[in-house]
Amino acid sequence: MTGRERKYGKKKISDNVKAGVFRWWIAGMCYFFIGFGTQSGIFADPLDMIFFLGLGLGLATLFLYNPVAYRMFDIVRKGKIYNQNYFERSGWQNAVLKLAEILKNMVLVFLIYMTYQSVNLLLERLLHLPEGTVTIPGEPIGFAVIYTIYYYLLTGLMDTVAEMRKKEEK
């Protein structure tokens, strides 16, 4: 132990925070590559962007985030370590949950799109800007922050619903 650690104490960053930063990074990476690096990022139809970004985020979550995060960190939700549930799924449960993860990411991207639209419309009205002015455009860091917040809100809501269903069954 060095003198600095003795004097100030060593603070440990929780695994949930590390997993959250990892999720934030993946969301920003996906937005950067899909939003700026593909044709869907420049199409006039936002449904293309919502679909491909939701699909890309879902696949990145399934094949990049989940295998790394659930093996590296002890992810705690509602006071319980969630990792064991991830590894104890049967084949059909795993397939259904993978499809649900992709759909969840598409819904999240739609919510983020609506958030950007609402904020831009509000600023347009408040600042008396010309119609269609984009004051806050989509960019990877802001997108990733909003995505992470919405992801944890939606996951918390889903955990609460599942907990209530278990109480009803008893």
Give the model confidence (pLDDT) of 110-145 as tens digits. 999 999 999 999 999 999 988 888 888 889 999 999
Tokens of 145: 């922050």
Phi, psi of 2 (to 5 degrees): -80, 165
Q: What is the reported pLDDT for 43?
A: 65
Q: What is the pLDDT of residue 110?
A: 96
User: Which pLDDT belongs to residue 32?
Assistant: 93
Taking the model in full, what pTM does it have? 0.86
**Which pLDDT belongs to residue 169?**
83
pLDDT at 42: 65
Which whole-number Å values give the CA distances from 112 to 108, 109, 138, 146, in the listed order?
A: 6, 5, 10, 7
Distance separating alpha carbons of residues 104 and 86, to the nearest angstrom: 17
* Whole-number pLDDT of residue 133: 82
| Residue 34 or 7, more confident | 34
DSSP conformation class of 47: H
- Burial grade of 125 (CB within 10 A; 0-12, 13-18, 19 or more): exposed
